[in-house]
Amino acid sequence: DAGITQSPRYKITETGRQVTLMCHQTWSHSYMFWYRQDLGHGLRLIYYSAAADITDKGEVPDGYVVSRSKTENFPLTLESATRSQTSVYFCASSKSPGGSYEQYFGPGTRLTVT
Amino acid sequence: QQQVKQSPQSLIVQKGGISIINCAYENTAFDYFPWYQQFPGKGPALLIAIRPDVSEKKEGRFTISFNKSAKQFSLHIMDSQPGDSATYFCAAGGGGATNKLIFGTGTLLAVQP
């Protein structure tokens, strides 16, 4: 029972590079989310997806791109990384609306942009 | 209207004491109020949640108190233990066709032995 996994767990990249963070869930949950966690800001929603091929912006989407061609995968791409994108990134998934709103989080990816 | 304000930012409690963390929300459409617990190096995990049709929910040593008129809710940890040392996030969501949650800024709890 893998649940929700993220890769890589740690990443160091340079300013201007493109980097993709991967998220995979085995529950067939409809909803998937990407958050960034920064001290003093808590968890801020970057993008979310209600189903395959349906995505929408969250609170802090600038500089990020997402796609969801398959229900189980929700990659997050930083097209041209900046130092301000140094953060811990969490992916989460949730069942269909109308049921529990509980979100299940992955272990996180710590990204450092130098 | 989408903010959830959480306090305090950090909290130190002696073993056996009561830890209290408070949150306030603005959007009256919210109908789901969870608390998440996060240990260092891990993702947040649901601890306890409440719907606005009840004023209190208790699970073991953890209790949510909910005040709908004041748009506030709080987490009480009774008989706090060193193993409870973690970051706690309140959140609010629901009230629509999406499963989005708005999170507070987190409280770092340290329970001293």
pLDDT digits (tens, 9 = 90+) for B30-76: 989 999 999 999 999 999 999 989 999 999 999 999 999 999 999 99
Task: Give the pLDDT band of residue A95 (cuts 50, 70, 90).
Answer: confident
User: How far is residue B53's CA from residue B66's CA, in Å, rounded to a whole number?
Assistant: 9
The reported pLDDT for the residue numbered B1 is: 56
Check CB contact under 8 Å for A90 and B89.
no
CA B113, CA B110: separation in Å to the nearest integer? 10
In which residue are the tokens 């996180």 written? A108
Residue A98 scores a pLDDT above 70: no
Question: Using the beta-carbon criterion (under 8 Å), do A97 and B49 form an inter-chain contact?
Answer: no
The whole-angstrom separation of Cα B86 and Cα B108 is 6
Task: Convert the pLDDT of each residue in A59-81 to its tens digit.
Answer: 999 999 999 999 999 999 999 99
Is residue A30 within 8 Å of residue A71, measured between CB atoms? yes
User: Does residue A44 sit at the B interface (CB-CB below 8 Å)?
Assistant: yes
B97 has pLDDT over 70: no
What pLDDT digit, counting tens, does each position of A17-73 carry? 999 999 999 998 999 999 999 988 899 999 999 999 999 999 999 999 999 999 999
Minimal CA separation from B98 to chain A, in Å: 6
- Number of Cβ atoms within 10 Å of the Cβ of B24: 18
Residue A46: name the closest of A30, A63, A28 by CA. Answer: A63
CA-nearest residue of chain A to B8? A40
